[in-house]
Amino acid sequence: MISRTLFLSAMAVTCHAFVAPLNTADSSSATALSAEKSRQRIVNRRIVFGTPATILVSGCLSVATAAPVYADVTNKVASTAALRAVKKGIKDLENAEFPAVNNEYADVKAALRTPALNEVRKNCLILIKGGEDGPEAENLKTNYNAFVKALEALDTQASLGMRGRKEIVLASYYDAAVKSLRDVLEVGERSATIPLQDVPE
């Protein structure tokens, strides 16, 4: 009986000696595998989203290197070229004086379609944009609207004269167009010399 008991005890110790290391190895392998998976997930996340430090540094760099955009600066620069173009438009319009005074309708129509006069409205709008935050903003708009109205009236009257409408006199319409465009130029030049407005912080 004692021998049987001793035998069973010895077997239990032997089994424990073999089983315990096995369980320890399995546990270590599982822990290592779990740690590897966790590490891989972190690596993958950093690849996709970036580490907090990387994100922070990237964000700081992007903020530091982003160029501020000030539309008024761009428009002020563009206004200089627009002023020159408007002056050229006035010169071309002045060349239409002789046919306008003599009611030469076809010649007036042709004179109103030079490259400078074709672009004059666009350049006037650039002046308006460049001075929109200044004290001359409303004057620019008012004078521009007057010019457009006068120019269209002159062109319409010339068209009517070409169609045979009697007693179409162009001189007054021509004078109004020239005066209003000169007014746009005058106000535009004043507006262009006004310093840029400070951007609110």
Which of these ranges, 73-77, 100-104, 123-127, has the smallest mean pLDDT? 73-77
Q: Note whether 190 and 179 are within 8 A (CB).
A: no
Cα atoms found within 13 Å of the Cα of residue 167, Cβ hemisphere only: 0
pLDDT given at position 77: 74
Q: What distance lies between CA 145 and its chain's CA centroid?
A: 26
Residue 14, pLDDT above cutoff 50: no
Output the 3-class SS for 7-32: HHHHHHHHHHHHHHHHHHHHHHHHHH
Region 59-82 average pLDDT: 54
In angstroms, the CA 137 to CA 128 distance is 7
What mean pLDDT, rounded, does the chain reach? Answer: 74
Q: Which residue type, as a one-letter code, is found at position 115?
A: P
pLDDT given at position 46: 45
pLDDT given at position 131: 86
pLDDT given at position 40: 58
Region 4-27 average pLDDT: 44
With a CB cutoff of 8 Å and minimum separation 6, the contacts of 150 are 173, 176, 177, 179, 180
What share of the chain has pLDDT > 70, as a percent?
58
pLDDT given at position 61: 32
